[in-house]
Amino acid sequence: MSVTSNLPWSEQYRIVSKQWVDADAAASILEDTKSAVMAERVVALGDMAVNKAEATVKASPEWRQHVESVVNARRAANRLKVQLEYLRMKFSEWQSHEATKRTEARL
C-alpha cells in the first residue's frame, strides 16, 4: 500500500510502520537463518571436508543469490525505516508551521 499525502500524518505513519515491521521481520529471518541454510547445503554435499564443502557452497550461484536476497530484504526494511523518519520530520515541520500560523493570527 502506498501512502498518499491526503491521509492524516498519523495514518501515513501507521501504514508505513506496519510495512516496516513486516519487512524488518522478513530481513531478520533471512539473516538469522543464514548459517542454518549454509549448514543444510554443506550436509547435502555428502561426505566432504567441512571447509571444502563450505567453500563449494559459497562459490555457488545459489549461495550468491541467497546472500543477495538477505541484503535486498534488509535494504527494503531500511528504506521503509527512512520513510518513517521522513514522515516524522514532515509532521514536525507541519506542527511548527501550524504553531507559527497561530502565533501570527494572535498578533
pLDDT in tens, the chain (107 residues): 456 678 998 999 999 999 999 999 999 999 999 999 999 999 999 999 999 999 999 999 999 999 999 999 999 999 999 999 999 999 999 899 989 999 989 88
CB 76 within 8 A of CB 23: yes
CB 27 within 8 A of CB 70: yes
Q: Output the pLDDT for position 4.
A: 64
Single pTM value for the model: 0.80
Q: Output the pLDDT for position 3.
A: 61
